[in-house]
Each structure stands twice: as structure tokens, then as C-alpha cells.
Amino acid sequence: MDFVSRYVDKTIKIYKTNDPFSIANQKGIIITELPLGETLGLYMMRRRFQFITLNSDMNLHEKRFVCAHELGHAIEYPECNTSFLRKTTLTSISRIEVQANKFATLLLTYYDKMENWMTKDQYLKMCGIPVEMSRFI
Ligand SMILES: [Zn+2]
């Protein structure tokens, strides 16, 4: 099992849910929403406090995915402060962005297995995940 899958497994075992909002709350991460323009979300650590900021103009599915992505940063690289998720980041090849996207995809699909009759796109849609993530399933 790779690094990201192990983190997802461990996270779900500890927090007993795959809901990124609930996990963030349980971890004491402070979530705020602001109109961020082109930026979908960001993660920061300041004085040992962790913050996730979500673009308030997104719908609930988008917020859930972006929260899961930022949670991936918070869990994989808590000290790393330089991640702004933009629409273009969904197809980013930067290692930490790929790992955060994979974390979000594995987390949000954890309890819903893909049925035979579904296409990958339908499955991702059902789980509220952007189609750009199809390479992770
Ligand atoms: Zn990111």
C-alpha cells in the first residue's frame, strides 16, 4: 500500500468517518469560508494552529472535495504552508498537489465501491469528485 492510501486508512480508523468536515473538526482544524476568487481553498499552519479556508462561492460538493484536498495537506505535510488550490491545480503534476488530490479521492470514495454498471465518471460524480481525479481510481 502506498503512502497516501496508508494515510487515508489510518485517518478513517481514527476518526470513524470519511466526512472531511467532521475529520477536520475532530482534529481541531479551523475551517473558514471566504470569497477567494480563482482560489478554491488553502491550508495554513500558524503557531501550531491549523487552518483550512474554503471559497464560499462553491457548492457543497465542491466544498467537500476541496476540504478533503486541504485535509490531505494537513495530514501529509502539516508544516507546509504554500498550497493554494486553484482550478488548474486539479490537473497539477506537483507531487504534494497530486498527493492531496489522491488523498481526497480515496477518502471520499472509501465507503462507496464502484459498481459494475457505472462508468468512472458516473462513480466520481456520485461521490462528489471532479472528473479530473479519474486516474486515482
Ligand atoms: Zn493543494
DSSP class per residue in 14-68: HHS---HHHHHHHTT-EEEEE--TTEEEEEEEETTEEEEEEETTS-HHHHHHHHH
User: Which pLDDT value is given to residue 94?
Assistant: 85
User: Helix/strand/coil (H, E, C) string of 65-123?
Assistant: HHHHHHHHHHHHCCCCCCEEEEHHHHHCCCHHHHHHHHHHHHHHCCCCCCCCCCCHHHH
Distance 70 CA to ligand 1 centre (A): 6
User: Which pLDDT value is given to residue 83?
Assistant: 67
**What are the extents of the domains in the chain?**
3-130
User: Which pLDDT value is given to residue 36?
Assistant: 93
Distance 119 CA to ligand 1 centre (A): 26
Distance 117 CA to ligand 1 centre (A): 32
What is 3-130's CATH number? 1.10.10.2910
Distance 25 CA to ligand 1 centre (A): 19
User: Which pLDDT value is given to residue 88?
Assistant: 72
Distance 37 CA to ligand 1 centre (A): 16
The one-digit pLDDT tens for each residue of the chain (137 residues) are 799 999 999 999 999 999 999 999 999 999 999 999 989 999 999 888 999 999 999 999 999 999 999 999 999 988 887 667 777 777 777 888 999 999 999 999 999 989 999 999 999 999 999 999 999 99
Distance 87 CA to ligand 1 centre (A): 10
User: Which pLDDT value is given to residue 127?
Assistant: 92
User: Which pLDDT value is given to residue 132?
Assistant: 93
Distance 56 CA to ligand 1 centre (A): 17
